[in-house]
Chain A
Amino acid sequence: MHIQGTLIEDTYAEAFTGHFARVVITADSARWALEAAAAMTGFATSIIGCQVEAALERELSPAETPDRRPGASALLMTLPRGDLERRLIERIGQAVLTCPTTACFDGLPDAADRLSVGRAIRHFGDGYQSSKIVGGRRFWRIPVMEGEFLVEDTFGRVTGIGGGNFLILAEDGAAGLAAAERAVRQMFPAEGVILPFPGGICRAGSKVGARRSSAMIASTNERYCPTLRAMVPTALPEGVSAVFEIVANGLDPERLRAALRRGVIAACGPGVLAISAGNYGGALGRHRLPLREIAVQPS
């Protein structure tokens, strides 16, 4: 199967179940909402080293936010459920509470499983905090030097899919990066989907475990490293000199697959010899996202 001359390999992306929260940040201006979202989702590219994967989901207009201010929504994902609450407390407490003019709301209010996030952050108020219930939802007012920080008492948790991915196998780095950028432009923003790597692109895809250390849970995926082509059993077709990976996490399979489809199709073209996917033989997760099926599914 080819799209615009690019081979779509007959393989699948291996993904896993993750625990998700959606954080809605509002501020007096879009600039500050996005600043807070960027800080809160910083250093959150991969579970491997960051314990959480997080990214901006999309910018929100005032009409879409609870307090009618400009806003931003972000998704955070962890593997153990218990981690999600801790990461939310840390990140909202350090990155949103501290950011000028912001307020912070749960973006999954209908989720049955609730995480005590604002309930923990409120202790920053050192006893001067107070709560208000608006529309059946409890919020904490935490006095800060600027005025008050408003944060929702609990945040919803749902399960979704992490690790949706595809690999862009290009004849050189420039062509590969251009293709990856095209893919990201088609995949972001999308409701319910995030691309946690820098600019949505990962140049250092990993394999599960490591050859030389049992302590490492991941290490470089040498089969896709062009510099190692002559030294290892390579997965690279002839002519490939650079590989970029697009990783996407989604609240549900449908939206994740739709985003991957847009990305795969956009990435195909001159200079891109093949599209492949991170497939670990079942070692990573139970979800399989077949590339060819995704590429032809109706949008």
Chain B
Amino acid sequence: MSGSRVLRRVGDGGIGADVSAITPERLAGLDEDGIRDIPILVGGRTAPLGRAFALEGGSGPDVSFVGDLARVDGIGAELTGGTVRADGPVGDRAGASMRGGRLIVEGDVGHDLGIGMSGGALMVTGDAGDRAGGAGPGASRGMTGGEILVRGSCGAEAGARARRGVICIAGQAGARTGHEILAGTVVVLGSAGPEAGRRNRRGSLVVLGRVEPPVAYRWACTYRPPHVRLLLAYLRRRYRLEIDDRHLDGRYRRYAGDLGALGRGEILVWDGS
């Protein structure tokens, strides 16, 4: 085995495709004809993979998507192991329901990044749309485990209803970050948009930039939270993120809330000291 299997988008890139079923586990043991025959959705209809993607060499356990992927949804969805790479920008639901492995997207991703994710690591070098690590329509829970790193910025409702896991947004976070978050942690190295942490039950929002805690939060203290230090040190080491020592060493204002919900959550804002 050598190199990852490369799937190049062919045909009209303007027609949407959904490759949710295409994971290293699914491809394992299949020959090239078998891979081309895997049914996927192309333009909303079931079609063989070979109609939208050309197989370019590689026989290793990992999968790489290349070409015009802007309208390719579900890349890395339901991933359980191995590594999936994609040259972005890619479409919606990348890494949805991931349970393990790594998904690496070079570029931007659409909405619903990692919704329903329960394990593994998801890394995006660009921006993400709405609901990263959040809950899908009608779902009671967002991500329940694993790690999401977005090196750019995120749209609205990152981490909405997340039950566990870590979302790290190196840029700015949109409105309603951590909306109805059950537990888990959202780290924003930039600033967070309005209404962050509304209806937070036991989740943690860590913001190094600016954030306006909702009125249902109460200031508790300004201190050095040991878990934030541990988490930032881990993220810096694991993902080579540029996190200053002053953020590790610094004090954070702890706002407890949402007192209109369970009230055991928190927003921790770097105090700049």
Contact = CB atoms under 8 A, between A and B. Distances in A.
B234 A139 contact: no
B225 interface: yes
Interface in A146-198: 147-150
Which secondary structure dominates where chain A touches chain B?
strand
Given A132-B185, A132-B204, A147 B224 contact: yes
Interface string B227-247: 101110110001000000000
B234 A148 contact: no
Given A147-B223, A147-B224, A147-B225, A134 B230 contact: yes
A86 interface: no
Contacts of B71: none
Contacts of A150: 226-227, 230
A139 B225 CA distance: 13
B264 A103 contact: no
B234 A149 contact: no
Contacts of B28: none
B225 A148 contact: yes
A90 B230 CA distance: 24
A122 interface: no
Which secondary structure dominates where chain B touches chain A?
mixed
A66 B264 CA distance: 26
B221 interface: yes
Contacts of B166: 133-134
A139 B230 contact: yes
A143 to B, nearest CB: 10
A72 B185 CA distance: 28
Interface residues of A, number: 16
B35 interface: no
B238 A67 contact: no
A135 B231 CA distance: 8
Nearest to B248: A68
A87 interface: no
Interface in B110-168: 145, 164-166
Nearest to A149: B226
B179 interface: no
Contacts of A132: 185, 204, 227, 231
B227 A148 contact: yes
A69 B229 contact: yes
A141 interface: yes
B9 interface: no
B202 interface: yes
Interface size for chain B: under 10, 10 to 19, 20 to 34, or 35 or more residues?
20 to 34
Interface in B194-237: 202, 204, 221, 223-227, 229-231, 233-234
Contacts of B221: 147
B226 A134 contact: no
B122 to A, nearest CB: 15
B227 A139 contact: yes
Contacts of A299: none
A67 B204 CA distance: 18
A148 B231 CA distance: 15
A130 interface: yes
A69 to B, nearest CB: 7
A69 B227 CA distance: 13
A130 B202 contact: yes
Contacts of A135: 234, 238
B226 A133 contact: no
B227 A68 contact: no
Point out which of B185, B225, B230, B264 has the most chain A C-beta atoms below 10 A from its C-beta.
B230
A67 B224 CA distance: 12
A67 B247 CA distance: 12
Point out which of B165, B221, B226, B227 has the most chain A C-beta atoms below 10 A from its C-beta.
B226
Contacts of A103: 226, 230
A81 B164 CA distance: 32
B159 to A, nearest CB: 14
A147 B233 CA distance: 19
A133 B233 contact: no
Nearest to A66: B230
A139 B231 CA distance: 11
12 contacts: A66-B234, A68-B229, A69-B229, A130-B202, A133-B165, A133-B166, A134-B234, A141-B225, A147-B221, A147-B224, A149-B226, A150-B226
Interface of A: 66-69, 103, 130, 132-135, 139, 141, 147-150
List the 6 shortest-distance A-B pairs measured between CB atoms, nearest first.
A150-B226, A147-B223, A67-B230, A68-B233, A103-B226, A132-B227
Interface of B: 145, 164-166, 185, 202, 204, 221, 223-227, 229-231, 233-234, 238, 248, 264
Given A68-B229, A147-B226, A150-B226, 12 more contacts: A67-B226, A103-B230, A130-B202, A132-B227, A134-B166, A135-B234, A139-B227, A141-B226, A147-B225, A148-B225, A149-B226, A150-B227
